[in-house]
Structure 1
């Protein structure tokens, strides 16, 4: 009897920009800058809550958008540039966490909401409101992906 060797065939990879397309945002470059400067749509916020599995109030707290402001943005349909920038930073960190956990949304969310030793015991979601904080989280994710723990 001859053993059959099953050939490994990876599943077709999702488009690299699929996450950003689902959000309705460009991932980088001049188009992203234009979108943030013009004010991103409130729909991006609702899609981000759906994708991340966070409650609307939770996400607003992490990106420092007070409830009254969130309601005004829902009414006008757009966020101001600084608010949109904070939403983009959260999306970038969330996407990187999902990539770290190979697309497992539950594990990515759990990691983002848990104290992390590499961030001095802070939760990654607590750090996304500032550029420096988001960069620290992204740097840690990069180090974890490459097996560098120091």
Structure 2
């Protein structure tokens, strides 16, 4: 089992580094929570608005920890360097692209936990190479919108008893 990456060496403690972030990460007082019930995001306009305002990095990190992702895996999902992830300040907001990915990841996590019955079972599944994904893991597809869509469809097939 992977360690909680917030406690890892090499800069794993988010929020303690005072390095200034690029304008890509905004410091606003607006609190946007990714773990809010997905009912709040059922309206596509609400989803877009939330992504545009930005998701707090601390909330994104809560989800990443829930999924057991490493710093490098998180960096790959956001298409940023590992060093950028290590410099994240938890009080700042992700940009709209990063926020969109976190919202998609939360939606998939919610569906996955419902399909597999527990967070740990879903976490194990996203790391399991699947024949239907050319022996790649679902986690390897979390770097593009089409990858998120593919994994969401795959979860839907499993949910309805269709061999996936």
TM normalised by structure 1 equals 0.73
| Residue number in structure 1 paired with 2:106 | 91
Asked which structure has the greater CA Rg, the reply is 1
Post-superposition, which runs of at least 4 consecutive aligned residues in structure 1 deviate over 6 A?
A: none
SS of match in other structure, 2:55: coil
Quick check: which one's helix share is greater?
1
Count, aligned residues:
130
Deviations 1:16-41 (A, max 9, x none): xxx83279x94332222111112211
Quote how far apart the aligned CAs of 1:71 are: 4.3
TM normalised by structure 2 equals 0.67
- The answer to whether the 8 Å contact 2:75/2:82 transfers is yes
Unaligned runs of 5+ in 2: 1-33
Higher relative contact order (CA 8 A, sep 6+): 2
SS of match in other structure, 1:149: coil
Unaligned runs of 5+ in 1: 1-18
1:137 & 1:73 partners in 2: Cα distance?
27
Quote how far apart the aligned CAs of 1:72 are: 4.9
Quickly say closer, same or farther: Cα 1:62–1:31, change in 2 above 3 A.
Answer: same
Match of 2:74 among 34, 53, 59: 59
